[in-house]
Structure 1
């Protein structure tokens, strides 16, 4: 549609600022129209609804970032240099980015947590951007900089997921102030996985954790939580009402407020209890004394536990993981505690000399969590992968993660 008077551009600019600041749920068409200096009805001349406006508003920002990235590639011909520059570019945008880049990251949180985004035309801009990484990896394999058995799509998902986790560490829960200092550690792990030259725990139950899980598995509060999981997974948190949850749980709507202040508190109570339970399951799987085998077991069990509860996994990926409020809740503390199990394995491996001494536990955790998130979104949200293919891809991911932690002189046998 033509836009001779620039009104559509003004609307997009206003929407970018307001959505980035307030999110889809709290932003209104009226305030966007006021900021763009147009009447409300003009917005509906260009966009179907508020969600369509959100998805369209990020497209321009992604395209701009795409062009800037390609500018940085000028003079860089080798795939390793281009890959390093793309990683550096993401970290730079976290730490020193312009207002547009920061707005883009906030809008991506909103869009990628919404299943409708993946069928919207605006998603194609993100696919084109991701295609840059895909081309770099293909070139690296062809020119024998990267392993010839590299599964390109899986590796792309892992790297982008890795960079997402770094962004969250800095921008969402402020674990670190800047991400650029991690550049060398990040590239070291990536090249250890894909470069051509790289070739048990005592299951004693934490009684406090066990008690917390047990206490939350009874009565009306548990019925409300189970009903919420079922409806959130089907409709999404935003579109679900407390009345629907109450009817599904067989309680009065007012009863829910005896246990939860509001719908958001109910949402975040779900992962808190799940993560406490997951900790217990993860601690019981490490019979092997070999740290590398423990790492393999951890990766497989982590994916298995989450995948076996598809409703919760859908909520976690779409309503929780990319919700910045999550990072200020007790549920996030329980989520991080699960990572302590991984840290113990990594520390043991370094102590035994099986893992690299320069391995950063925190940076590797981001690699692992990023791989998990991106693969599960593709597997369960986009619904493009068969169960058999999932197992094959998970085996590849596990092998890549194991390659990342062992010294260069060590050879590992793919499991």
Structure 2
């Protein structure tokens, strides 16, 4: 039995090295067998085919990485520190880690571009690893470090997509030599999106906020008032206005019951604030639908149009996400240059926002681009490749993604992660 296990491990190791170097298509069973010093037929004793071997090779590396990350978590206190360490761990693997970490990065791109991977046992190891992120986010919400109106699945996908883009910019097209230098910029954007704060600009909402040059419109509600309103929508929809209580709304919003009355006279006033603010939003959006004036409007329009334009041709989008985007050869083609040119407008909007004072002055355009592109890639895979959401759900998720991205460029955050 020990000998058999030794052969399987040798095959897995050989597969990891060959697949990482050449990819699935250009690798052969014979080459892997030769490196593992076994006969070709022995490989089929343990694995069904070349894809099964690839997915299993990644699975083993993911398990190792999972255990290593848990080790790094030891001694850390609080969800912000854990989130920061998880981000740091990914960047460290890009820059300094060799061997298993680099192999895993390459195999991840190979596997995630293959639809069959999502039906293989190896995918569970990736889900298990991603589960650490979900646990951190849940703890952050529970301990009131993170906002409680977040869709955790969306946030998780945005962060992992963000880190993927950082890896690609370093390992695939060599835009930067290292990624750890982006750590503070990355964490600043993430915390701006999900962190709890009293600053009004944190709630970037189309139709209620209009930063312009001064940064905040007088009509913007405070963070607590907005949380109460959002909580009331959920409770009213679930139980009806008549049966809902202010105590239930307060608990869901994470505020004291008395706090509600600082913003709303009574339950009816709270109820009618919902359509009032919603119609203000609609009016605002209708007035600006043809000619956005301020950078936040332009950024929202850019994000929406980007998703709509790419989504209008689902066949191309599927090919791009599965067969092109994660293929290293793509980054040496003219097509990649054309792809980068599609982001020039984004840079123009970000620069305009910084010059006008609507966006944070410390915003790193390249790092935000990676957040945007990573969010787009991960969400699009879930929508169109895995087909896990309905069209109506897509609209809701796109609205949340847009708000989070706008929040990231407008909200200042304290450097709470400097000691991570």
TM-score per shorter chain, which class?
A: 0.7 to 0.9
> Which residue in the other structure is 1:157 paired with?
157
> Which residue in the other structure is 1:360 paired with?
364
Within 2, Cα distance between the matches of 1:78 and 1:101?
26
> Which residue in the other structure is 1:105 paired with?
105
Partner deviation per Cα, 1:69-109 (whole Å, 9 max, x = no partner): 00000011300000000000000000001211001111111
Within 2, Cα distance between the matches of 1:342 and 1:3?
57
- TM normalised by structure 2 equals 0.76
Matches for 1:46-57 after TM superposition, within 5 Å: 46-57=46-57
Within 2, Cα distance between the matches of 1:407 and 1:322?
32
1:373 shift after superposition: 0.3
> Which residue in the other structure is 1:130 paired with?
130
Within 2, Cα distance between the matches of 1:293 and 1:120?
42
> Which residue in the other structure is 1:26 paired with?
26
Partner deviation per Cα, 1:361-405 (whole Å, 9 max, x = no partner): 000000000000000011111111000000000000000001000
Kept in 2, the 8 Å contact 1:286–1:294? The answer is no
> Which residue in the other structure is 1:392 paired with?
396
> Which residue in the other structure is 2:36 paired with?
36
1:4 shift after superposition: 4.1
Within 2, Cα distance between the matches of 1:286 and 1:344?
19
Query: Do structure 1's residue 371 and structure 2's residue 375 form an aligned pair?
Result: yes
Within 2, Cα distance between the matches of 1:375 and 1:5?
39
Within 2, Cα distance between the matches of 1:391 and 1:371?
15
Q: 2:303 aligns with which of 273, 279, 299?
A: 299
Kept in 2, the 8 Å contact 1:314–1:381? The answer is yes
Partner deviation per Cα, 1:199-225 (whole Å, 9 max, x = no partner): 2xxxxxxxxxxxxxxxxxxxxxxxxxx
Query: Do structure 1's residue 336 and structure 2's residue 352 form an aligned pair?
Result: no
Within 2, Cα distance between the matches of 1:95 and 1:4?
36
Partner deviation per Cα, 1:268-290 (whole Å, 9 max, x = no partner): xxxxxxxxxxxxxxxxx972111
Gaps of 5+ in 1: 200-284, 410-415
> Which residue in the other structure is 2:271 paired with?
none
> Which residue in the other structure is 2:322 paired with?
318
- TM normalised by structure 1 equals 0.77
Within 2, Cα distance between the matches of 1:351 and 1:139?
37
Kept in 2, the 8 Å contact 1:109–1:322? The answer is yes
Within 2, Cα distance between the matches of 1:193 and 1:405?
9
Partner-residue secondary structure (3-state), 2:343? helix
> Which residue in the other structure is 2:13 paired with?
13
Partner deviation per Cα, 1:6-53 (whole Å, 9 max, x = no partner): 111110000000110111111111111111111000000011111111
> Which residue in the other structure is 1:167 paired with?
167
Within 2, Cα distance between the matches of 1:178 and 1:320?
23
Within 2, Cα distance between the matches of 1:407 and 1:90?
25
Aligned Cα root-mean-square deviation (Å) = 1.4
Within 2, Cα distance between the matches of 1:114 and 1:287?
41
> Which residue in the other structure is 1:245 paired with?
none
> Which residue in the other structure is 1:192 paired with?
192
- Asked which structure has the greater CA Rg, the reply is 2
> Which residue in the other structure is 1:345 paired with?
349
Kept in 2, the 8 Å contact 1:286–1:297? The answer is no
Structure 1 stretches of 4+ with a deviation exceeding 3 A read 1-5
Within 2, Cα distance between the matches of 1:125 and 1:295?
36
Within 2, Cα distance between the matches of 1:50 and 1:169?
28
- Number of residue pairs the alignment of both structures matches: 324
> Which residue in the other structure is 1:145 paired with?
145
Kept in 2, the 8 Å contact 1:354–1:407? The answer is no
Within 2, Cα distance between the matches of 1:146 and 1:19?
39
Partner deviation per Cα, 1:186-207 (whole Å, 9 max, x = no partner): 00000000000162xxxxxxxx
Matches for 1:219-368 after TM superposition, within 5 Å: 287-368=291-372
Within 1, Cα distance between the matches of 2:107 and 2:152?
27
Kept in 2, the 8 Å contact 1:164–1:370? The answer is yes
Matches for 1:70-85 after TM superposition, within 5 Å: 70-85=70-85
> Which residue in the other structure is 2:178 paired with?
178
1:407 shift after superposition: 3.7
Closer, same or farther: CA 2–122 of 1 in aligned 2, 3 Å: farther
